[in-house]
């Protein structure tokens, strides 16, 4: 395990050093990295770096923070590109879904069935919350009429889960 940790540390230092060297040496990279349109990309890059460390050290739990950081970076990139900053009023509901994606990847790599099941619930609940708040706040357009279907579906799923556990 110590060798993997050393490899991960070396990889992180090399990647960070290479990034900052390219920013210093190439004006195009500096413009890209610190530009008005692309500033969220380093946030996504940190998430990718966390995934890489998790794979090198075989610590699947690192996929959870990697998914959160990458997901928020992707959301910021989309909001920056579209100028739709008002969507933060309901887009926060996606963060539990990002946690669920990280749990799903971690559970699949760690072969933990309960983690995968919990991840599915996190993702589903996040989608329901996103749909509800997005429709209330006018961010989902035509879909805003049908959000109660997701609430009904969530209720049916919880009912089925309760009945199957009861037996």
Instruction: Please enumerate, as own/partner, the contacts of 21-28 that have beta carbons within 8 Å and a separation of 24 or more.
Output: none
Host domain of residue 12:
2-119
State how many domains the chain has: 1
Cα within 13 Å of Cα(147), Cβ side: 20
Residue 145 lies in a domain: no
What pLDDT is attached to residue 163? 80
47: tokens are 């998430």
Place of tokens 């349109």: 37
DSSP secondary structure code for residue 84 in this structure: -
Query: Residue 145's closest CA among 136, 154, 157?
Result: 136
Residue 27 lies in a domain: yes
**Cβ neighbourhood burial of 34 (10 Å; 0-12, 13-18, 19+):** exposed
* Residue 161 within a domain: no
Ranking 22-36, 54-68, 110-124 by mean pLDDT, the lowest is: 22-36
Which two structure tokens, joined as six digits, stand for 111?
Answer: 């072969």
Provide the residue count of the chain.
Answer: 167
Phi-psi category of residue 35: left, alpha or beta, with phi > 0 → left and psi -120 to 50 → alpha: beta
Question: How far is the C-alpha of 164 from the C-alpha of 150, rounded, in Å?
Answer: 21
Instruction: Kindly report the pTM of this predicted structure.
Output: 0.75
Does a structural domain hold residue 143? Answer: no
163 lies in some domain: no
| Structural domain includes residue 129 | no
Residue 137 lies in a domain: no
Residue with tokens 């890059």: 45
Lowest mean pLDDT among 76-80, 93-97, 154-158: 154-158
Phi then psi for residue 79, to 5 deg, are -65, -40
Q: Is residue 164 in some structural domain?
A: no
Q: For residue 161, what pLDDT band results from cuts at 50, 70 and 90?
A: confident
d(CA 120, CA 147) in angstroms, rounded, equals 19
pLDDT given for residue 56 in this prediction: 83
> Are the beta carbons of 112 and 64 closer than 8 angstroms?
no
């Amino acid at each position: 395990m110590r060798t993997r940790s050393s490899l991960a540390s070396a990889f992180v230092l090399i990647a960070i050093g290479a990034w900052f060297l390219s920013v210093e040496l190439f004006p195009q990279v500096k413009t890209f990295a610190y530009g008005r349109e692309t500033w969220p990309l380093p946030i996504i890059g940190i998430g990718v770096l966390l995934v890489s460390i998790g794979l090198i050290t075989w610590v699947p739990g690192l996929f959870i923070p990697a998914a959160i950081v990458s997901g928020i970076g992707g959301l910021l990139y989309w909001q920056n590109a579209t100028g739709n900053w008002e969507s933060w009023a309901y887009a926060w509901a996606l963060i539990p879904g990002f946690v669920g994606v990280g749990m799903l990847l971690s559970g699949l790599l760690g072969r933990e069935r309960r983690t995968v099941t919990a991840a599915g619930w996190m993702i589903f609940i996040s989608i329901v919350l996103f749909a509800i708040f997005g429709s209330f706040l006018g961010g989902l357009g035509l879909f805003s009429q049908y959000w109660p279907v997701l609430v009904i579906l969530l209720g049916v799923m919880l009912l089925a889960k309760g009945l199957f556990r009861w037996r």
